[in-house]
Amino acid sequence: MSPHRIALLFNANKVYDRQVISGIGQYLKSTRVEWDLFMEEDFRCRTLGIQHWRGDGIIADFDDPAVAETLTHLPMPVVAVGGSYADDSQYPPNTPYVATDNTKLVRLAYDHLIAQGLQRFAFYGLPPSPGNRWAHERETAFLQMIDADGLEGMVYRGSPTSAGGWGRAQEDMAAWVKSLPKPIGVIAVTDARARQLLQACVVADVPVPEQIAVVGIDNDPMAQLLSRIPLTSVTQGAEEMGRMAAQVLHQMLHGGDCTNTRVLVPPVGINVQASSLHQPMRSPHVMRARHYIRQYACLGIKTEQVADYVGISRTLLEEHFKRELKQTVHQTILEHKLEMARAMLKDSSIPLADVAVRCGFTSLQYMYAVFRREFNCTPRQFLGMARA
């Protein structure tokens, strides 16, 4: 028998879609199912001519209303993948649907911020549009949680991301950041929006996470790479969604009736990083200094530069650090560099020399010396322990 011809209609520019596709691939390998896969090179054309495609089945992102509308009445097995809905009528009729559980995604982020001792919360979402229904579901879930706890939640949707309007959008976002009551925890609807929020905090000179603790959704490596402050993010079960969607389509191709199948996939967990680890600070000088250190420690800054940023003498800043943190400014800078180095060492594709340079050590030899002094092991030995 020749392989079934299957179309995957996703936007591979997005980490969520790529993870779903990865899950489909994992299912095929684990079951030895042979499918001849079609994917459009330009995702903007993914539905163009699909009605005339001579295939056996489709797995598609139904968060895009154009895709959902085009595929609903096709005479072949179709499995929908997308966000969950509180209102069952929002799901496509007579179509198996594998969903990320939007409520549980937001709940995981919200509970994490509560655990940090925060009592004020906000949500950074997306402007309403047919393609952003999943974002509205997350916003609604946030407001329901806030209301159930008797709190007032603030929502900011901002503007659609575009090069032409980015300058004004960032100014508006910085103004919103300044206007928020503090300290506050903010849940961003995606990591992309969380990264924009972190940039706005830098522009507004608002310390993260002392005054604003940030949690994103997606655990997107690209967002981590482009953010000076490591981002806490909820990891969706997108790969499991892909595996489940492939399994459902496999059953349909062999005569199974999955018309009324609906699966909600919970999040995998939360990757906790510096952006959400809120610690109340009595000294505003220490708060500002740590905000600066998180952004620039790996660029080789010195204590004098931190003091200049804060606007007080080095001696006075050292006094505040010893009183508040029980360590010097230099030790705090070094601690941040080592934290970044330990995180990078877990990625075996990054050469040790590159880790040293990117984390602000003057040489690989110096990084070795610091690891021996602080951890009684070399970076390579630490790498082995991290993998064990």
pLDDT of residue 234: 97
Task: Return the percentage of the chain with pLDDT > 70, whole number.
Answer: 96
Q: pLDDT digit string (tens) for 153-209?
A: 999 999 887 777 888 888 999 999 999 999 999 999 999 999 999 999 999 989 999
Q: pLDDT digit string (tens) for 335-366?
A: 999 988 988 888 888 899 999 999 999 999 99
pLDDT of residue 138: 98
The confidence band for 49, taking pLDDT boundaries of 50, 70 and 90, is: low
Higher model confidence: residue 294 or residue 147?
A: 147
Mean pLDDT score of the chain: 90
Residue 225 pLDDT greater than 90, yes or no: no
Phi-psi region of 256 (alpha: psi -120 to 50; beta: other; left: phi over 0): beta
Its pTM stands at 0.81
Distance separating alpha carbons of residues 216 and 223, to the nearest angstrom: 10
pLDDT of residue 387: 62
Distance separating alpha carbons of residues 67 and 19, to the nearest angstrom: 19
The confidence band for 82, taking pLDDT boundaries of 50, 70 and 90, is: very high
DSSP annotation of 192 reads: H
Helix segments in the chain, DSSP class H: 15-31, 65-71, 102-115, 133-148, 166-179, 191-204, 221-226, 238-253, 284-296, 303-310, 314-324, 329-345, 352-358, 364-375, 379-387
pLDDT of residue 42: 61
The confidence band for 388, taking pLDDT boundaries of 50, 70 and 90, is: low
Residue 29's SS3 state is helix
Higher model confidence: residue 157 or residue 117?
A: 157
The confidence band for 117, taking pLDDT boundaries of 50, 70 and 90, is: confident
Average pLDDT over residues 136-156: 94
The confidence band for 48, taking pLDDT boundaries of 50, 70 and 90, is: low
pLDDT of residue 27: 96
pLDDT of residue 228: 82
Residue 140 pLDDT greater than 60, yes or no: yes
pLDDT of residue 47: 65
pLDDT of residue 46: 61
The confidence band for 60, taking pLDDT boundaries of 50, 70 and 90, is: very high
Average pLDDT over residues 215-243: 92
pLDDT of residue 50: 72
Question: In the Cβ-directed half-sphere of 84, how many Cα atoms lie within 13 Å?
Answer: 22
Residue 45 pLDDT greater than 60, yes or no: no
